[in-house]
Amino acid sequence: MPPDEREGSVKPVADLTEAEAADELTRLADEIARNDIAYFRDDAPVVSDAEYDELKRRNAEIEARFPHLVRENSPSLKVGAARSDQFAPVEHGVPMLSLDNAFSDEDAAEFDARVRRFLRLGDEPVAYTAEPKIDGLSCSIRYEKGELVRAATRGDGRVGEDVTANVRTIGEIPKTLRGSGWPQLIEVRGEIYLGHTEFAALNEAAAAAGQRTYANPRNAAAGSLRQIDPKITAGRPLRFFAYAWGLVSAPFAETQWGALEKLEAWGFQTTPQSRCVHGLEGLLGAYRDMEALRPHLGFDIDGVVYKVDRLDWQQRLGFVSRAPRWGIARKFPAEQARTVLEAIDIQVGRTGALTPVARLTPVTVGGVVVTNATLHNADEIARLDARLGDTVIVQRAGDVIPQIVSVVAGERPKGARAYAFPHVCPCPLKTEVVRETTASGAETVVRRCSGEFACPFQKLAHLRHFVSRRAFDIEGLGEKQLVAFSERGWLNSPADIFRLHEHRDELLATEGYGEVSVRNLLENIEARRRISLDRFIYGLGIRHIGETTATVMARGYGSAEAFLAAMDRIAERDPEAVGELDALDQIGEAVIGAAAAYFAEDHNRAMVEDLKAQLEVQDAERPKADTAVAGKTVVFTGSLERMTRDEAKAQAERLGAKVSGSVSKKTDLVVAGPGAGSKLKTAAELGVQVLTEDEWLALVAG
């Protein structure tokens, strides 16, 4: 969501007309649902927790003022979110509900007052437990006669996902309950999480293996738990704190505190920071203490959970729609501080995107010294109207990069001028800065350097792409080697890779290299001098020209010479050449624009020529028109057993089929292996023909 969309429309709830409120509730429901899917189903949140909480808070505030507008599908009536279909559904014995949030001392006072009112209590302070609110994912684990029989995620609160096999791999979760006195049937509930050290190690290993890293420990925990293969989960050091229960065959405690003690005696970890406190004062004190402990815990918490200690009182208090009256989550605010914006520097990212970075007078935000904050892009600077010398509010939420929330009005130094975003890249080439476009050709808020390979900031990223598996696939030329060889001045462009043999002797004298490794590296490089046209095109790293587009272009032009001749004409926007390219399948304005921009730069054109002189680019195979699958759109899903996904795709394309990643009305065939999920379901719904892998092989062979 662009920031202006988020901030621009924020009108105090008290000023909203009824029509505006209704509109906004619709918008908020959509936005919250989208975020829920990103967070719960895809483990890939797109907004910070604080932003998400703010959406929910505003939704609740509007509903409180216009109760008759509460929608049937209001986010305030839902818990959790959509399940994915990789795991079998499990109905919880007792629904897994969630807690209402409190954001201030006043909210906590209101909670205490409500409890007392409801129970008609006198002056005696109420006993509560105050427990850290662990930021992981909740799980319900069913024990029958003391044996673990089933474990499920929360899902939508009523039905979760069966993650028994994975949960069994977690050391801190007992497979058999210890001690005695446990009910014959009990669903133990708690939070699966990852500690900070384990999270850092996991991400480091993922980064080293070139895999995607997780944004925060909670997503890493969710991603680790929801692995199809429990062996992968077993390798992730997941942990578990027990703090609640669902269905039980017999009561086993009289207080929450007593229940926590029992859970511990039966072999579970419970949070050592939990306390039993009395009255509002106790609640507020516990919150302050937890805030102070937070940086030293070694795992993420996002607040404190208050629960009425007496379970008979909990019973009487009961629930309102989705949350209990007996408990509430007091959330930590995003941490903020005031400081001065000293400078704005422009960083050039690996893809050439220019990111303005705020240099700040160092300030402590939530126990961490902050000296930089991201300003995202030129539009964000304009929205904040941030000027050098301004006093600003910076915010840190969880692990996210510090952000500037606002400029403090009235503290602007005299004569401070609005920031002008540079028109040239800060690299020595001083290339022109261009606005990035999306695949459909629309301008975005991002600005990029147009220098590509020639821009020293982008060179490494381009080289990395060039040697990657799907491009030139040069083994032995990893990040480390690319950096080292670049620093020695041996690698400035892809063509230089094919001249590395000139540095053979220096290489042999380099620590870590021997006769064998040098020979292997140079042989791997030599083997790639003969390259298919599609890999050649893809390796150039032209924006919007991914593997599929490169294949389409290779088939369309047939030879490197024809391709380059066409590109020269495209760079000049020759209408005939543009028309020819446009006529190719799946190619539109974005690709044409990107190709034109790339080949219009002399340094790119010279680089490509230099590279081509080193290579023997093979002509592309023209697609066959007379096969059983020619012209058909095919989707592969599930795991294939006779061939890899890449092989299957290449084979299908060779035979003239188009391979797509998702099933739609345009799909002709779905080839499904074991473990196929939602795509198979969609195919059935749309009446698309489904084949097994063997049936597919028979079809293409015939």
Report the nearest approach of ligand IVH to the CB of residue 326 (Å): 9
Report the nearest approach of ligand IVH to the CB of residue 131 (Å): 4
Query: SS3 for 610-665, per residue?
Result: HHHHHCEEECCCCCCCCCCCCCCEEEEECCCCCCCHHHHHHHHHHCCCEEECCCCC
Q: Closer to ligand IVH at the Cβ: 97 or 433?
A: 97
Q: Of the candidates 81, 192, 215, 244, which one interacts with ligand IVH according to CB under 6 A?
A: 244
Contact 642, 697 (CB under 8 A): yes
The CA-based dihedral angle spanning residues 155, 71, 14, 118, taken in that order and rounded to the nearest 10 degrees: -70
Cα separation, 509 vs 529, whole angstroms: 25
Cβ neighbours, 10 Å, residue 57: 13
Which segment (113-121, 133-141, 222-230, 648-656) binds ligand IVH by CB under 6 A?
A: 133-141
With CB atoms as reference, the residue minimizing the distance to ligand IVH is 138
Q: Closer to ligand IVH at the Cβ: 136 or 174?
A: 136
Q: Closer to ligand IVH at the Cβ: 143 or 243?
A: 243
Identify the CA nearest to 59 among candidates 82, 40, 75: 75
Q: Of the candidates 52, 128, 182, 243, which one interacts with ligand IVH according to CB under 6 A?
A: 243
Which segment (26-34, 130-138, 449-457, 486-494) binds ligand IVH by CB under 6 A?
A: 130-138
Which segment (28-36, 92-100, 114-122, 447-455) binds ligand IVH by CB under 6 A?
A: 92-100
Q: Closer to ligand IVH at the Cβ: 259 or 329?
A: 329
Report the nearest approach of ligand IVH to the CB of residue 306 (Å): 10
- Cβ-defined contacts of 460-468 (< 8 Å, 24+): 460/350, 460/486, 461/350, 461/351, 461/352, 462/494, 462/541, 463/491, 463/494, 463/497, 465/539, 465/541, 466/494, 466/497, 466/539, 466/540, 466/541, 467/497
Residues 536-565, mask of contacts with ligand IVH (x by CB under 6 A):
------------------------------
Q: Of the candidates 21, 48, 83, 133, which one interacts with ligand IVH according to CB under 6 A?
A: 133
At residue 71, the 3 state secondary structure works out as coil
Identify the CA nearest to 58 among candidates 32, 80, 19: 32
Q: Closer to ligand IVH at the Cβ: 80 or 366?
A: 80
Which residues fall within 8 angstroms of residue 608, CB to CB, at 6 or more apart? Answer: 540, 564, 599
Cα separation, 259 vs 213, whole angstroms: 37
Using rule CB under 6 A, residue 305 touches ligand IVH: yes
Q: Closer to ligand IVH at the Cβ: 97 or 348?
A: 97
Report the nearest approach of ligand IVH to the CB of residue 100 (Å): 8
User: The tokens of 357 are what?
Assistant: 């970075």
Report the nearest approach of ligand IVH to the CB of residue 92 (Å): 12
Rg of the chain over all Cα atoms, to the nearest angstrom? 30
Size of the residue set binding ligand IVH (CB under 6 A): 13
Phi and psi at residue 463, to the nearest 5°: -65, -40
Q: Of the candidates 237, 258, 324, 588, which one interacts with ligand IVH according to CB under 6 A?
A: 324
H/E stretch holding 353: strand 353-365
Using rule CB under 6 A, residue 259 touches ligand IVH: no
Report the nearest approach of ligand IVH to the CB of residue 99 (Å): 4
Using rule CB under 6 A, residue 299 touches ligand IVH: no
Which segment (97-105, 422-430, 533-541, 581-589) binds ligand IVH by CB under 6 A?
A: 97-105
Q: Closer to ligand IVH at the Cβ: 225 or 595?
A: 225
Identify the CA nearest to 483 among candidates 521, 443, 451, 456: 456
β-sheet bridge partners, residue 224:
none
Cα separation, 159 vs 66, whole angstroms: 31
In order, the DSSP letters of 232-274 are HHHTS--EEEEEEEEEESS---SBHHHHHHHHHHTT----TT-
Identify the CA nearest to 274 among candidates 315, 238, 312, 306: 306
Which segment (93-101, 159-167, 605-613, 662-670) binds ligand IVH by CB under 6 A?
A: 93-101
Contact 390, 376 (CB under 8 A): no
The active-site residue, picked from 11, 56, 78, 133, is: 133
Q: Of the candidates 29, 81, 115, 134, which one interacts with ligand IVH according to CB under 6 A?
A: 134
Using rule CB under 6 A, residue 326 touches ligand IVH: no
Q: Closer to ligand IVH at the Cβ: 167 or 305?
A: 305
Cα separation, 139 vs 187, whole angstroms: 10
Report the nearest approach of ligand IVH to the CB of residue 69 (Å): 24
Q: Of the candidates 37, 54, 69, 98, which one interacts with ligand IVH according to CB under 6 A?
A: 98
Report the nearest approach of ligand IVH to the CB of residue 103 (Å): 14
Cα separation, 675 vs 163, whole angstroms: 15
Q: Of the candidates 102, 186, 202, 329, which one interacts with ligand IVH according to CB under 6 A?
A: 329
Map the footprint of ligand IVH across residues 183-202, applying CB under 6 A.
191
Identify the CA nearest to 322 among candidates 108, 130, 136, 101: 101
Cβ neighbours, 10 Å, residue 583: 9
Q: Closer to ligand IVH at the Cβ: 273 or 492?
A: 273
Q: Annotated catalytic, 665?
A: no
Map the footprint of ligand IVH across residues 144-163, applying CB under 6 A.
none
CA angle (158 as vertex; 680, 34 as ends), nearest 5: 60
Q: Closer to ligand IVH at the Cβ: 199 or 326?
A: 326
Query: Which positions are catalytic?
Result: 133
**Which residues make up the interface to ligand IVH (CB under 6 A)?**
97-99, 131, 133-134, 138, 191, 243-244, 305, 324, 329
